[in-house]
Structure 1
Amino acid sequence: MTEKNLLAAFKQTAFRGVGHGPRTIHALKESLSDLDDSLESDMYGKGAIIEDFQKKITQVLGKEAAVFFPSGTMAQQIALRIWCDRKGIKRVAYHPLCHLEIHEEDGLKELHQIEPILLADKNSLIRLEDVVNIGEDIACLLLELPQREIGGQLPNYEELVAISAYCREKGIKLHLDGARLFEILPYYQKTAEEICQLFDSVYVSFYKGIGGIAGAILAGDDSFLKESVVWKRRHGGDLISLYPYIVSSDHYFEQRLPNMGQYYDNAKELAGSFNQCHGVETRPVEPVSNMFHVHISSPKELVEPLLISIYESTGIGLTGNLRENDSGGCYFELSVGDQYDHIPKEGLQKVFLQLDEGLKAASSSR
């Protein structure tokens, strides 16, 4: 079976255990439904609709100012450029599987001539000892919370505090890739403001766990954000209007922020069910946010037809994207959102029964 067949089967299921549902234009229609038609749009970063949202998120994050960007890629490259320019050092440090390193076509290097220093093994979190032992002067350290590409892992809060204190002592700026910041609050039992106090600059996404159309916020002190506005213009980020992104971001932020605890609890429940299946292990074993990775010891070519069969018999989908891992098996990522509570519990039990039996049969036939 091919990936295309798996994705097609997934899309045909009545219930899906991931996210908030398919990304359709309904997200915009729903977020616009309560607005007054006479409300004026923003224009080149100005206007009440964008300025009010920026002020709201500024308060949530506990920073002096915040600026809305059309993408996190743009926001984070600009943040690191500002810190490098201020210190006069064109080096930053981050994880080997950082978004800037593996998903942005070397944008940081090609557009800004900034050299990344990669910290820690790719399958491990950045620890305090990694930061202490960098061995080169850097302008900024970027931490991603949670570390998505290794299953959404998190350091314990005490180590986070220690890294922050060390960076401030050494004059290293600390930037938070908080694309999923709101999703980790239930685990840390902290407010967004308490976490953001540890960082000099913060990026958050409004399309991942929040489920807006697109868009991001970059937050920090006033002078930092004034520089970011100039760089935003240079990057072409000052679209004449960003209101569709802002309206949907605001709408779903208000709707879903209170549900992050439930998403987290559901993720732990779902991971527990996976871990009872033959040859399956989630990473982390117990999730620390609403997202985690599911690793299966059987190879992709055996797991795909099994998943398709399960989808067709139960009407419940788990993933449409199965990837090979380094140990000869395969894995996929799950982010739990609104959809999970709509899945019939009896149907979900059948899914895991069939998955367990099918993986046992696949294992014995190899």
Structure 2
Amino acid sequence: MSNPLQEAFNRATYPVIGHGKRNIGVLKDALDAYDGELDSDMYGAGRLIEDFQSKMAGILGKEAAVFFPSGTMAQQIALRIWCDCKGEKKAAYHPLCHLEIHEQRGLHELHGIEPVLLGGKNRLIGLADVQSLDESVSCLLLELPQREIGGQLPDYGELEAISAYCRERGIALHLDGARLFEVLPYYRKSAAEICELFDSVYVSFYKGIGGIAGAILAGDAEFTEQSKVWKRRHGGDLISLYPYILSADFYFEERFPNMERYYDGARELAGFFNKCHQITTLPEVPVSNMFHVHVSLPKERLEPLLVEIYEETNVGITHVLRENGESSCFFEVSIGDRYALIPREELQRAFALLNEKLTFSL
């Protein structure tokens, strides 16, 4: 089925979001940086995978780390381990957690773990929510940033208080850090400092880092050794994972130093959006490189306006809109390498036109 907004976005010279197209070139560019004689990993072993795991364990401040082909696999395994440790198959997390809304009940169907949904859908989990937990819960998952509500983050003091409470009560605290590196500029903390508050942590290498796929699960030595067993049981020990590992390492080195720039770009861009009629961003001032844009106009009315803007200015703002009731819609913005490539005058012209069209649509 034809998607005019997607097609117009793909034709735009200056897309606002992301690092670039996800094509074969992403992998080719990464592989070109390595010696073709470098030995691949084999079933989770070998210098290539072990060196990368050690490197990431050091960056995250954990005793050990294990590379997984997917974050879905890594996080289900992390929660399974913590539930087995306590002998209680209950895990708490946000109602809009990835495990709850994107994994077809995998945690329950594969591991028999009962999810305990904590807090409200439209807000962050707070200390009071955690204090209300039944102590039979084995573990708590916190996502930083909370993607489905605009990438919001708790105050760091609140995070420290939650961590201390969980340790006092024997509740394992797991970090869904799919976008962990993207929040470091806001917290003004290192990855290791943040991860010190958690018993285990998962990070992704295809979101802000822009690799082709893959994830790291980190924790103490006993935890990671158990995760290797579950990784084998899940079929995650492919004969070789080197395309994922090499692209993860290559793009980590390339993009990790740019997280401050992406964060600054998100704050600047949110300012442009918030000056437009009928638009608000969530959060108003972003706390990472991502945020949501809410428009008081139905999707079917906004789409043609955006297509016109893309065609007139060659600036592509988003490729997809999500309905938010009958009279409004929203979309997600995630800043990467592309944003810095847009000439400022072209960007300003696109937003002036957007504001004009939204004003006349009132």
Give the TM-score of the pair, scaled to structure 2: 0.99
Percent identity between the two aligned chains: 66
Once residues 355 and 204 of structure 1 are traced to their aligned partners in structure 2, the CA distance between those partners, rounded to angstroms, is 36
Contact 1:92 1:114 in 2 (8 A): yes
- Which 10-residue stretch deviates more, 254-263 or 324-333? 324-333
In the other structure, the counterpart of 2:198 is 199
1:98 matched to 2:97? The reply is yes
Residues 327-338 of structure 1: pairs in structure 2 closer than 5 A:
328-338=327-337
In the other structure, the counterpart of 2:43 is 44
Contact 1:174 1:201 in 2 (8 A): yes
Once residues 249 and 37 of structure 1 are traced to their aligned partners in structure 2, the CA distance between those partners, rounded to angstroms, is 17
Q: Which amino acid aligns with 1:19?
A: G
Shift of residue 137, structure 1, vs aligned partner: 1.7
In the other structure, the counterpart of 2:180 is 181
Post-superposition Cα deviations, 1:312-365, rounded to whole Å, max 9, x if no partner, equal 1111101111011147300000100100011111111111111111111112xx
Q: Which amino acid aligns with 2:117?
A: L
Q: Which amino acid aligns with 1:287?
A: P
Give the TM-score of the pair, scaled to structure 1: 0.98
Once residues 17 and 326 of structure 2 are traced to their aligned partners in structure 1, the CA distance between those partners, rounded to angstroms, is 25
1:114 matched to 2:113? The reply is yes
Once residues 2 and 181 of structure 2 are traced to their aligned partners in structure 1, the CA distance between those partners, rounded to angstroms, is 31
In the other structure, the counterpart of 1:325 is 324
In the other structure, the counterpart of 1:138 is 137
In the other structure, the counterpart of 1:35 is 34
Matched position secondary structure for 2:175: strand
Residues 190-339 of structure 1: pairs in structure 2 closer than 5 A:
190-326=189-325, 328-339=327-338
Shift of residue 136, structure 1, vs aligned partner: 5.2
Contact 1:3 1:322 in 2 (8 A): no
In the other structure, the counterpart of 2:71 is 72
Once residues 312 and 327 of structure 2 are traced to their aligned partners in structure 1, the CA distance between those partners, rounded to angstroms, is 27
Matched position secondary structure for 1:142: strand
In the other structure, the counterpart of 1:159 is 158
Q: Which amino acid aligns with 1:257?
A: F
Once residues 197 and 314 of structure 1 are traced to their aligned partners in structure 2, the CA distance between those partners, rounded to angstroms, is 46
Task: Kindly report structure 1 stretches of 4+ aligned residues shifted beyond 4 Å.
Answer: none
Once residues 3 and 114 of structure 1 are traced to their aligned partners in structure 2, the CA distance between those partners, rounded to angstroms, is 41
Q: Which amino acid aligns with 2:243?
A: P
Indicate the RMSD between aligned Cα atoms, in angstroms. 1.0
Gaps of at least 5 residues in structure 1 are none
Post-superposition Cα deviations, 1:132-179, rounded to whole Å, max 9, x if no partner, equal 012352000000000000000000000000000000000000000000
